[in-house]
Structure 1
């Protein structure tokens, strides 16, 4: 049994990774600042699920309110446990929002990662996993995106801070020998997802007969990746790799309108679309080259977009009253 520090444990990916670790019998030290980027009630819902899971698991779940941008808070937690690995999933997410408030992204995504790396060095934590993003590929037109592609042209502060965190991780690997896995996630979706993400908005708004916002013409393609596959890949990243970057994607890009049509059929309602201009930080398509993830980690996605949408809509229907009462994300 290992003690694994999971930052952002009340977030979408952090919650699912923590849950899976507990099912595997690991001990999870979960930290989150439960900020109001979207309605905190959803984060609190996830936290209660983790506490319940922790009581029934072999390893147990210990939760601490902590902003990873505060070095002293991070240091206190790391000094109180013998931590075997850090999985850093705490982040300010959202491409468009980062254009409006870049400072918050700098504090969490870059400074927060630095604080965790410093504590990993000081307390001899040998393994570090960083959540990065497909957004670092910018407006690359070569498909699929490979980890060897140029990522020097970030289109928004969000992707710029994530790229900076990747590079900072390499420095600490080089200087102090910390074994580091970096994951570039591709458009994660699924039950209990982020309310600011497209699929969550589509399902809720279509059900409520409210307009859904579509930037551009709806023909943008995204490599939508189901949350269970992402959590599985993230945990597989705990193996020793030296320093390596991996893509985690579904390897099957689909158009936004295809996803919307599936949701319409599942809910039995027609979408009212609010067409908006394409945002300058948006890109036309994403597609992950996952060959190295298959070869080095033994990981591949198991959930098709069709099955994933069905499971996501089913979760929404089962939790309809709760979701309807969440404040709309910006």
Structure 2
């Protein structure tokens, strides 16, 4: 893809979407940022101010079937764009406390599948489309003998839990687009860390607990393994897909499994070094649900072939995440 392009990014105020928008603007490309939230967060405003690219914002709920304006505007923006990246979705395998099963499934149907279907329908077949899925579709990475190995893009999907099943449904819709002659890439992020991570995700919750003297809630056991991936590596991967015209499926992971114990230790070091530890680190190990698979990490051959170095410095990314959180809190208090 040539430079000075126009890219539509849905979910532009989210964890990955906002980081992607900022990067695209900083490299001189134009962005149409689509989100149901009323305004871009401060980092996007700063990127629009400081970068060479132009930022246009569209406030829209992609999954609202009663709002024909959204579909019309998205269709017009997608038709004028050089590429579309769909980041908007209800994230996380776990339900929020107090959420009923029926309400959670309705939200997933709406915010995962319906939003993707809206974007797929609005984007011309010839326009490159990247859809963010999830490593959850693999159902972990145990082979037939029970031995853990990295998940490859060619592996069959084995969704464990309803969140993964909804992501598989999105991928099936993407395959239908491909069969109709469309250009689409399914990107499967693994465990993403960095600035702006959602507060309900493990590392964000652990950092908060460690700072306030509460016990860190660990699901399962400390030996469970996850592919901790810097959010900037995920953005690098999405941009490499666009720049090189890659299609099919691409893993967005570091390729290095980390135990929960290693991640907890990185959290401890970060809060101690920042001088904000709330006391000795305490753990509360709770039972894990079935969807909390024992091990999950990415085969990264295809990502590396696109020119991306997926290496993630665990300590560095946790420290960055903490520093970002402290800075946001300081700004909020000063306002």
1:77 aligns with 2:83: no
Match of 2:283 in 1: 273
1:186 offset after TM fit, Å?
0.5
For residue 137 of structure 2, give the secondary structure of its aligned residue in structure 1. Answer: helix
Match of 1:136 in 2: 137
Distance 1:20 1:102, change over 3 A: same
Match of 2:212 in 1: 208
Of stretches 235-244 and 166-175 in structure 1, the one that deviates more from structure 2 is 235-244
Instruction: Choose which of 12, 22, 27 in structure 1 pairs with 2:30.
Output: 27
Q: Distance in 2 between matches of 1:196 and 1:314?
A: 18
1:313 offset after TM fit, Å?
2.5
Match of 1:50 in 2: 44
Q: Distance in 2 between matches of 1:92 and 1:125?
A: 27
1:145 aligns with 2:151: yes
Aligned residues of 1:2 and 1:27 also touching (Cα < 8 A): yes
1:182 offset after TM fit, Å?
1.1
For residue 152 of structure 2, give the secondary structure of its aligned residue in structure 1. Answer: coil
Match of 2:55 in 1: 61
Q: Distance in 2 between matches of 1:106 and 1:26?
A: 33
Residues 144-171 of structure 1, C-alpha deviations (whole Å, 9 max, x = no match): 11111110x3112221111111121121
1:248 offset after TM fit, Å?
0.9
1:309 aligns with 2:303: no
1:228 offset after TM fit, Å?
0.9
Q: Distance in 1 between matches of 2:244 and 2:312?
A: 26
With the length of structure 1 as denominator, give the TM-score of the two structures.
0.87
Aligned residues of 1:136 and 1:154 also touching (Cα < 8 A): yes
1:294 aligns with 2:304: yes
User: RMSD of the TM alignment (CA)?
Assistant: 2.3
In structure 1, stretches of 5+ residues that fail to align are: 35-42, 325-330
In structure 2, stretches of 5+ residues that fail to align are: 144-148
Q: Distance in 2 between matches of 1:67 and 1:164?
A: 20
Q: Distance in 2 between matches of 1:319 and 1:264?
A: 20
Q: Distance in 2 between matches of 1:281 and 1:95?
A: 7
Q: Distance in 2 between matches of 1:51 and 1:316?
A: 18
1:251 aligns with 2:252: no
Residues 84-143 of structure 1, C-alpha deviations (whole Å, 9 max, x = no match): 21100001111112983011111122121111111113xx65110010111000144131
For residue 296 of structure 2, give the secondary structure of its aligned residue in structure 1. Answer: coil
Q: Distance in 1 between matches of 2:6 and 2:120?
A: 17
Instruction: Choose which of 2, 7, 11 in structure 1 pairs with 2:5.
Output: 2
Match of 1:157 in 2: 162
Aligned residues of 1:84 and 1:125 also touching (Cα < 8 A): no
Distance 1:321 1:169, change over 3 A: same
What count of residue pairs does the alignment treat as equivalent? Answer: 311
Q: Distance in 1 between matches of 2:140 and 2:183?
A: 30
Distance 1:267 1:56, change over 3 A: closer
1:310 offset after TM fit, Å?
2.5
